[in-house]
Amino acid sequence: MRSFSLGKWLLPVYAVLALVFLLVPIAYTFVFSFNASVKSNIVWVGFTFDNWINVCSDMSVCNAFGTSILVGVVATIIATALGTLMALALTRYRFRARSSVSLLLFLPMATPEIVLGAGLAAQFLSAGIPKGLGTIIAAHALFCLSFVVVTVKARISSLDPALEEAGRDLYGSSAQVFWRITFPLLLPGIIAAALLSFALSFDDFIITRFNNGAVTTFPIYIYTAAARGVPAEANVIASAVFLLAIVLVIVGQVTQSARRKRLARLG
Amino acid sequence: MAFAAFGSSTAQPVEQAPRKKSWIAWVLLAPGLAYLALFFLTPFISLILTSLQAPVDFGDVGQYQQAFKIENYATVVAQYWPHFLRAFGYALAATFFALIISYPLAYFIGVTARKWPLLQALMLTLVIAPFFISFLLRTLAWKQLMSDDTPLVQGLKALAILPPDGHLTGTAFSVIFGLTYNFIPFMTLPIYTTLERLDTRYLEAGSDLYATPATTFWKVTLPLSVPGIVSGTLLTFIPASGDFINASSSFLGSTSTQMVGNVIEANFLELLNYPAAAAMSVILMGLILLIVGLYVRRSGTEDLL
């Protein structure tokens, strides 16, 4: 195979450099989670495990983290439930206004977050709804919804319709075919959508900033602390979340490739 | 992944003999549509109504009444046009640099690394790795790395690239740098999705027909990866033009680098000038729809979803 290459080594070196560039701030966050600084974590003072051992010594960091988890879980449940139903409707049924519904789902993804945030804030303001946990969750579920629909839709489109036909040929009722065949096959897509939705919600700052009221999520905490220097405990939490997510992704990929190998052996 | 959403416009979904019972479809759609109506469409209407409000006579700061004050738009444009210009300028520059960095990376992962699936999976994981750590902390990390007493800045001064009293943070450079960094994965993933499906036999055909690798790239590879480039540039340009973290003074920006996002935030949350903030949001959205519409029409991938 001859492919376009800027010299034999230039492309791989460039790719590795780009990846290193992407990882620099992550390494920085990880290293500074071991910094022996007391309050602001800007200059390197010395190495310590204390921040990792006493993460919650400053309760506000852990409270903010807990709030982000709560918001993420509730928003994900709402977005995943509504989005999965919409994805099923869009892929399995012909109805008029299908393209309008698709456009309506595309628009939140094409709207800058600040416009979504300001719009929701204007809405809550004019409706006299006080900003707080409820408004954050409502906002997060909104921007996650489109991503859930897209992710689940992709999974449905990749399903082999023959599997369902087989179910019907074996006299399965619609409900049986759905719950015993379609749903289990869709589940990986739904789980992927839920994970994506949680990740989007957990890291959202812009929309939250407009709708949080007095509630502090983890990104809001970092933003507020940014001017005076984020305490090392925030770096600990971020690093721990990062390590957990990476482990999950690697486990997912390993099991997936193991399953693929097993299938290849069977076939 | 969701990024595949934008990249998957060329994928042919399996036609699954859709059933006709459209009432079931509407039952399935109803909760989601209600949610979108309540939290997406009505906020837009609220935003437009707010943008036309006028201050209450003799009222406190932050008290407005419904009016049809179209002058609000003229006022914000007159006052904040440099911020709009900066927002689109910075976003455009960041999109360009992100493309320059992402395309070779995506090419390497999607085409060259095909022979080594494990390497491919590892590199993809590293591309999405930044998503697993807080966006704000990553940006702050760059701020620290570029702050005045770091070896980087000292080195640039020693080499006379930066004047002795120069800074990296708080400049247009650092803001564009931060935007570029933050949106590289959004650019890389859709391009990777299209390149990963690229049939390398086309490239072989190119070389069989005596095309140089460069000609093959320009005539075959690049045109075939246009859908990925289109979705990548949209996924970068749209959020970058509304971003206000990178340009904020406590991150990589300063008062002279404020983008329209920063003034919307300040007007809404600090000055409580809701009509001005709303008018700017409406203008931002309108300009983005215009730019995106023209761009998508020119590049010819109309069905993005």
Per residue in B211-238, pLDDT (tens digit) is 888 888 898 899 999 999 999 999 999 9
Is residue A36 assigned to a domain? no
| A142 near B CB under 8 A | yes
Which chain B residue shows the shortest CA-CA distance from A235?
Answer: B137
**What's the token pair of residue B154?**
């000292």
Is residue A2 assigned to a domain? no
DSSP states of chain A: -----SSTTHHHHHHHHHHHHHHHHHHHHHHHTTB--SS---S---B-SHHHHTGGGSHHHHHHHHHHHHHHHHHHHHHHHHHHHHHHHHHHB--TTHHHHHHHHHHHHHS-HHHHHHHHHHHHHHHTPPPSHHHHHHHHHHHHHHHHHHHHHHHHHTS-HHHHHHHHHTT--HHHHIIIIIHHHHHHHHHHHHHHHHHHHHH--HHHHHH-TT---HHHHHHHHHTT---HHHHHHHHHHHHHHHHHHHHHHHHHHHHHHHHHHH-
Beta bridge partners of B19: A93
Please list, in sequence order, all residues whose beta carbon lies within 8 angstroms of the beta carbon of residue A172, skipping any fewer than 6 positions away. A180, A181
- A18 with B101: Cβ contact below 8 A: yes
Which chain B residue shows the shortest CA-CA distance from A161?
Answer: B16
Chain B residues within an 8 Å CB radius of A150: 2, 5, 305
Q: Any idea what the Cα angle at residue A150 is, between residues A118 and B138, rounded to 5°?
A: 55
- A4 with B217: Cβ contact below 8 A: yes
Chain B residues within an 8 Å CB radius of A4: 107, 203, 213-214, 216-217, 221
Q: What is the CA radius of gyration of chain B?
A: 23
| B296 near A CB under 8 A | no
- A206 with B123: Cβ contact below 8 A: no
| B1 near A CB under 8 A | yes
| B135 near A CB under 8 A | yes
| B273 near A CB under 8 A | no
**What's the token pair of residue B150?**
């770091």
- A15 with B24: Cβ contact below 8 A: no
Full residue range of the structural domain in which residue A131 is found: 59-236
The pTM of this model reads: 0.90
Instruction: Give the CATH number, domain containing residue A165.
Output: 1.10.3720.10
Which chain A residue shows the shortest CA-CA distance from B140?
Answer: A226
Total domains in the fold of chain A:
1
Residue B11 banded pLDDT, cuts 50, 70, 90: very low
| B35 near A CB under 8 A | yes
Find which of A258-267, B7-16, B57-66 is predicted with most confidence, using mean pLDDT: B57-66
| A205 near B CB under 8 A | yes
pLDDT for B301 equals: 58
Which chain B residue shows the shortest CA-CA distance from A144?
Answer: B2
**What's the token pair of residue A134?**
């409820």
Is residue A214 assigned to a domain? yes
Mean pLDDT of B203-209: 86
A160 CB neighbour count, 10 Å cutoff: 11
Per residue in B238-257, pLDDT (tens digit) is 999 999 999 999 999 999 99
Is residue A49 assigned to a domain? no
What are residue B54's phi and psi, to 5 degrees? -125, 150
Q: Which of B132, B47, B92, B147 is nearest to B259 (CA)?
A: B92
Show which of residues 230-249 on chain A sit within 8 Å of chain B, judged by CB atoms.
230, 234-235, 238-239, 241-242, 245-246, 249
In order of their start, the domains of chain B are 81-278 (1.10.3720.10)
Which chain B residue shows the shortest CA-CA distance from A145?
Answer: B32
- What is chain A's pLDDT, residue by residue, as a tens digit (267 residues)? 455 545 678 899 999 999 999 999 999 999 999 998 877 788 888 899 888 998 888 889 999 999 999 999 999 999 999 999 999 999 888 888 888 999 899 899 889 999 999 999 999 999 999 999 999 999 999 999 999 999 999 999 888 888 888 888 898 888 888 898 889 999 989 999 999 999 999 999 999 999 999 999 999 999 999 888 889 999 999 999 999 999 988 888 788 778 777 877 775
B260 CB neighbour count, 10 Å cutoff: 30
pLDDT for A260 equals: 77
Mean pLDDT of B266-279: 95
The answer to whether the Cα torsion of A31, A37, A42, A43 is positive or negative is negative
Selecting from A42, A150, A161 the residue whose C-beta is nearest the C-beta of B16 gives: A161
Is residue A10 assigned to a domain? no
Residue B292 banded pLDDT, cuts 50, 70, 90: confident
Which chain B residue shows the shortest CA-CA distance from A108?
Answer: B40
Which chain B residue shows the shortest CA-CA distance from A98?
Answer: B25
Q: How far apart are CA B152 and CA B129, in angstroms?
A: 24
Is residue A246 assigned to a domain? no
Is residue A225 assigned to a domain? yes
Q: Which amino acid is at B84?
A: F
Please list, in sequence order, all residues whose beta carbon lies within 8 angstroms of the beta carbon of residue B150, skipping any fewer than 6 positions away. B144
C-alpha distance from B8 to closest chain A C-alpha (Å): 9
Q: How far apart are CA B156 and CA B152, in angstroms?
A: 6
Contact B215, B221 (CB under 8 A): no
- A4 with B221: Cβ contact below 8 A: yes
Which chain B residue shows the shortest CA-CA distance from A223?
Answer: B136
Selecting from B36, B268, B269 the residue whose C-beta is nearest the C-beta of A104 gives: B36
- A12 with B135: Cβ contact below 8 A: no
| B123 near A CB under 8 A | yes
Q: How far apart are CA A243 and CA A237, in angstroms?
A: 10
Chain B residues within an 8 Å CB radius of A106: 304-305
Long-range contacts of B213-219 (CB under 8 A, 24+ apart): B213/A2, B213/A3, B213/A4, B213/A5, B214/A4, B216/A4, B217/A4
DSSP B256: G
pLDDT for B300 equals: 65
- Chain mean position to CA A204: 9
- A223 with B136: Cβ contact below 8 A: yes
What separation in angstroms does the CA of B159 have from each of B148, B152, B154, B164? 15, 11, 9, 10
What are residue A215's phi and psi, to 5 degrees? -80, 135
Is residue A222 assigned to a domain? yes
**What's the token pair of residue A88?**
């099923």
**What's the token pair of residue B18?**
């859709």
- Chain mean position to CA A169: 39
DSSP B64: E
- B40 with A108: Cβ contact below 8 A: yes
- A234 with B137: Cβ contact below 8 A: yes
Per residue in B152-173, pLDDT (tens digit) is 888 888 888 888 888 888 999 9
